[in-house]
Amino acid sequence: MKSVCHEKGRDITSLPKASRGSETILIAEPDSDVRRCTKEILRRRGYRAVEAMDGKEAIRIFADNKDRIDLVILDVIMPKKTGKEVYNEIIKIRPGMRVIFSSGCGPDIMRDKGIQAGTARFLTKPLSSKELLQKVRDVLDE
């Protein structure tokens, strides 16, 4: 089956091979296309990916799998709970959990949501496959 995720007109399978992973990543993203594409990119590089479509679902999935999830990617603006609210719950369940925030919003909205866009654990949308894979590997290797 051909990938539905394309980057600047090319299929992600044509990207150079990035370092592979085997870790489990929870992707909390309200946009189904972005969520599916992110999951596909990660899975093609060996990661296991679990999806949540809103903040409450992300907390439930994390709580049920807290010892199996190695990294969480949180959209800043999600239904039911914001990325920051989900982050606060996750670190109560498992202090020190690695989290990457992502958003297509500007810095002012980010500050209003309690997130500093310049932090090391932040991805700006639209994401490139290369940026996503590099950030995931960097945070997992911290």
> Residue 135 domain-assigned?
yes
pLDDT at residue number 41: 94
> Residue 10 domain-assigned?
no
The predicted-structure confidence for 12-66, as pLDDT tens digits, reads as follows 544 445 567 899 999 999 999 999 999 999 999 999 999 999 999 999 999 999 9
pLDDT at residue number 120: 53
pLDDT at residue number 116: 60
> Residue 93 domain-assigned?
yes
Q: Average pLDDT, stretch 80-104?
A: 93
CATH number for the domain that contains residue 51? 3.40.50.2300
Distance of alpha carbon 62 from alpha carbon 13, whole angstroms: 29
Structure tokens at 66: 């807290």
User: Which domain covers residue 70, as residue numbers?
Assistant: 21-110+117-140
> Residue 1 domain-assigned?
no
Considering the chain, what percentage of its residues have pLDDT values greater than 70?
A: 76
**2 φ/ψ angles, rounded to the nearest 5 degrees:** -75, 145
> Residue 37 domain-assigned?
yes
Q: Average pLDDT, stretch 122-131?
A: 86
pLDDT at residue number 97: 95
Distance of alpha carbon 49 from alpha carbon 127, whole angstroms: 17
> Residue 5 domain-assigned?
no
Q: What is the mean pLDDT of the chain?
A: 84
> Residue 2 domain-assigned?
no
Tally of structural domains, the chain = 1
For the entire predicted model, the pTM comes to: 0.83
> Residue 75 domain-assigned?
yes
Decide: 99 and 90 in contact? Cβ < 8 Å. yes
